[in-house]
Chain A
Amino acid sequence: MFAANMIQARYCSNRYNRWPFSLEITAMVASAPEMLIGASTDFLRRFSPFSQMEVEALQFLASRLELSFHQAGSDILTPEMGPPEHFFVVQRGKVLARQAGLAANAELAILPLGPGECFPIGAISANRPSANTYIAAEDSFIFRLPAADFRHLMQLSPVFHLFCTHYIASLLHQSRQQLQTTFAQRAAEQQTMTTSLHKLIKHPAISVSPDTPTRKVVELMAETRVGSMIIVDESAHPCGILTKSDVLTRILLAGFDLSRPVSEVMTNGPHTMMASASAYDAALAMATHGVRHLLIVDAEDRFLGVVSERDLFSLQRISLRQIRASIDSASDTDGLKRASDDIRQLALNLLAQGVGAEQLTQFISALNDALTCRILGLERERHQLGDIDFAWLAFGSEGRHEQTLSTDQDNGIIFVCPDPTLRNEMQARLLAFARSVNESLAACGFPLCTGNIMASNPELCLPLEQWQSRFDQWMREPEPQALLNASIFFDYRVIYGNQRLGDKLRNWLNRNAKKFSNFLRMMAENALTVAPPIGRIRDFVLEDDGTIDLKKSGARLFVDVARILALRVEVASSSTVQRLREAGGRMGVLGDEMSAIIDGFHFIQLLRLRAQCLDAERAESERLGDNKIKPDDLNELDRRILKEAFRQARKLQLRLKLDYQL
């Protein structure tokens, strides 16, 4: 019996068994290592970047992982351990990363890592000791990968390599792709690059058979004014194309006999594409093959029509251009109100197409600028401003080119007063004008500012010298209200009128702000009063209503620090990103480090825009309110990026803290 059974057994060496003489059946079913590797693979696949990783690389990773257990409170990795011997992936539990040397500010410097998150990235890539201490916050199961295998994985997997080298940027990229998918559905009715080609065929298909005399074809082209003629066989399958330039080069210049059939002069095998493909596919095909026309066919390869490069381009710009045109041609508030609705819709479309937050907020700001300028232009005609030299200022997010979809008005006027006796009379005329503008803006969907930060407020409609003395006063006596004012008014920008008035004020500010070191210091203190809402135990610290306010405890963290840095190193721009980039460069912050911070800011802005779009679709009673999100509503990836974005905010704050010894 024994011997008979042995016949089926096959043996192979197993390098993992400790006995050189061991034997193993190569079974038909999956082996134990295969099953366990499969379990690890399934786990990893639930998390980014492993979910995007190449099959072979993921398999390698899973096969090399070692599972370990760490009791709550135990060190997993510390700077003292030297260059890390392992790369870690949390399987279950929670790990805290604490920045070395900042133990006193424990709250500020702690970042929790949960399942699927990994560490260290920078230290192991650069083979230097970790800057953080990693401690198990609860009893945790942790996978570890030997450093040599980590390096091999970097080589093996472009996805993993990108993840490690551009950690936050790669997460953002994925999030944007997901966002695109989510919103593509909503924007489907809109003409976008996802429109199917079927809808883009403008003219009925004109085609001829291959044996048609060439003269006839050229005549038909002249008659119908089509740029190219399609030649189809008896089953309506396209077999050739003749374009206008072919007529010139192959027929006219070559002296081709016009009585010969067109099949002798046409280009054979034209590029075709199914009508169900998208405009984007078509653009890609045109770029790839270097052609300007694509023949659109149905599922049976029958010719339906032509889509040209121009059709696609107009599609891409149509909404932007249209809105711009309708703003410029509007003669009353009604027309502008429609344009304002269009801006919102466009933002949704662009969001759906995966346009990033920076471009998006710039688009919105640009269109809102155009809208505001048009209103100012219309109102100016109705008011007797004579030759008053003035500039219309935008403050706050509008001043920074960072408008989202819900922004109330923050504006003011700066004017030139050559004769003090005329001041009050000039101001009165400007105030009347400003009042009309504020009302029109409100009618177009920019609510009046509840804090009365508007040009129709006499306090905010001032000659240059008075603006200067106000700023001067705030900087000299930085009491709380002054600091609040500074945070609003320092981010001004001229959007209409004499640009040079704004420049003068900015130059004056930049020259003087540095003198008031106490003012900058207090601004810094003020900026640090709001901490990023990351919790020690839970991922996020929530407001009482279970949400996070992405403006108050998100974007503002970056904006406030950027403003102070800009004042300190004299950056003229009012945009947060520009300020960070320029100030970072002058202060010797590494480019990569600043990019990561800026990416974090962009992500929060993107989430705000998305939240606003989603909120607008909800019933009144279910709205969360502007800028509010529930982290539980976010997917795993976005939650992680948000955490990372907050971490970047904290980094920025820490920098300020160190600079001012706070």
Chain B
Amino acid sequence: MSWLSRLLSNRADVSSLDTALRETLTQWHMLPAPDLNKSHFETRYVVVNTEATGANVARDRLLSVAAIAINRELVVSADSLYASLEPDPATALTNLLSFVGNDPVVVFNSAFNRKMLEHAFSQQLGIDPEWTWIDLYWVLGELFPVMPAQGARLAEWMRLFDIETFQRHHALGDAFAIAQLMLAVQSKARSRGIYTPSSLSELEQRIRREAAQ
């Protein structure tokens, strides 16, 4: 039984919890499943990026989380989030949860990113969000076959598109670069007949499978 369900099942420690947080988690649980068959233009994607003390899930800690929404194929500064895990990881993660909702999540080279984040969600909030993750690391090479091979680093894609950000290796700074790449991906995907989040996700999974073989 997860921490949250214990919480919601009126266990003794409920009274000591903050109402607003609890409320948010409850509402998140009640969100309807996302419709992944709408067009990109009707979809709100959320770019998520994290910063951690290192690359070891077991030993290292998450330091901060950042998210930038791409709604109707636009990036608007106001629709963004940055939160440091300290001193209050539960609130930071709840805020991220509330920001993302159930929208498809966009990341770059997420294997580690995602593990770290899922670990934190489970630890702090006792939940395992079942998000649709789309990793641009796989998608970009397919849509823009200019790089010699799969697996170009973020810096290389930024250079190719002449993308700038205000600070590299900062959770939000890199998220901004990824968001700009996602704008290009949406547009390019559309011209390849990939109109929806679900088909974009399928593309990502196909390439990932092919790479694994």
Contacts and interface: CB of A to CB of B under 8 A. Distances in A.
B83 interface: yes
Contacts of A22: 24, 95, 98-99
A3 B101 contact: no
A38 B173 CA distance: 11
Nearest to A62: B77
Given A21-B23, A24-B95, A43 B164 contact: yes
A66 B94 CA distance: 27
A68 B172 CA distance: 18
Contact of B81 (A5, A32, A43, A139): A32
Nearest to B76: A66
A16 B90 contact: no
Contacts of A39: 165-166, 176
Most buried by B among A24, A27, A43: A24
B101 A32 contact: no
B98 A3 contact: no
Most buried by B among A40, A67, A70: A67
A123 B46 CA distance: 34
Contacts of B67: 32
Contact of A29 (B21, B84, B164): B84
Contacts of B74: 66-68, 144
Interface stretch (A6-14, A237-245, A531-539, A614-622): A6-14
Contacts of A141: 161, 163, 180, 183
Given A21-B23, A69-B187, A71-B188, A5 B91 contact: yes
Interface in A5-61: 5-6, 8-9, 11, 16-19, 21-25, 27, 29, 31-33, 35-40, 42-43
Given A39-B166, A70-B187, A33 B161 contact: no
A8 B99 CA distance: 20
B16 interface: yes
A321 B186 CA distance: 68
A348 interface: no
A277 B18 CA distance: 64
Interface in B85-106: 87-92, 94-95, 98-99, 101
Nearest to B64: A29
B68 interface: yes
Contact of B84 (A27, A38, A66, A93): A27
Given A9-B88, A19-B101, A3 B16 contact: yes
A67 B24 contact: no
A92 B177 CA distance: 13
B115 to A, nearest CB: 23
Given A6-B88, A25-B83, A32 B66 contact: yes
Given A35-B82, A35-B172, A92-B163, A25 B77 contact: no
Contact of B73 (A18, A23, A35, A68): A68
B36 to A, nearest CB: 17
Q: Interface of chain A, helix or strand or loop or mixed?
A: mixed
Interface string B191-204: 10000000000000
B50 interface: no
Nearest to A38: B166
A98 to B, nearest CB: 21
A139 B187 CA distance: 10
Contacts of A16: 76, 78-79
Contacts of A42: 166
Contact of A5 (B88, B166, B183): B88
Contacts of A137: none
B27 interface: yes
A65 interface: yes
Interface string B104-115: 000000000000
B211 interface: no
B80 A67 contact: no
Contacts of B166: 35-36, 38-39, 42
Contacts of B164: 43, 92
Nearest to A144: B74
B12 interface: no
A23 B80 CA distance: 13
A74 B162 CA distance: 19
A62 B87 CA distance: 31
B186 A63 contact: no
Given A6-B21, A69-B183, A70-B187, A63 B77 contact: yes
Interface residues of B, number: 52
Interface string B22-52: 0110010000000000000000100000000
B184 interface: yes
B154 interface: no
B77 A139 contact: no
B73 A71 contact: no
Contacts of B57: none
B58 interface: no
A141 B160 CA distance: 13
A6 B15 CA distance: 13
A23 B24 contact: yes
Given A43-B164, A67-B183, A23 B98 contact: yes
Interface string B143-168: 00000000000000000011111100
Given A19-B27, A68-B73, A32 B21 contact: no
Given A25-B95, A71-B188, A33 B83 contact: no
A32 B173 CA distance: 10
A19 B161 CA distance: 34
B20 interface: yes
B176 A23 contact: no
A35 B27 CA distance: 29
A421 B173 CA distance: 90
Contacts of A19: 24, 27, 98, 101
A71 B98 CA distance: 32
Interface in A347-368: none
A62 B162 CA distance: 20
A37 B77 contact: yes
Given A65-B77, A68-B183, A21 B172 contact: no
Contacts of B20: 11, 23
B127 interface: no
Contacts of A23: 20-21, 24, 91, 94-95, 98
B18 A67 contact: no
24 contacts: A2-B16, A6-B17, A6-B21, A9-B18, A11-B20, A16-B79, A18-B101, A19-B101, A25-B88, A32-B172, A35-B82, A35-B166, A36-B166, A65-B77, A66-B75, A66-B76, A67-B74, A67-B179, A68-B73, A69-B180, A69-B186, A71-B188, A141-B161, A144-B74
Interface of B: 16-18, 20-21, 23-24, 27, 44, 66-68, 73-84, 87-92, 94-95, 98-99, 101, 161-166, 172-173, 176, 179-180, 183-184, 186-188, 191
Given A29-B82, A36-B172, A69-B180, 15 more contacts: A3-B18, A9-B91, A16-B76, A16-B78, A19-B24, A19-B101, A22-B24, A24-B95, A25-B95, A33-B78, A36-B68, A39-B166, A65-B76, A67-B180, A92-B161
Q: What 4 A-B pairs come out closest when comparing CB atoms?
A: A69-B183, A32-B82, A32-B80, A39-B166
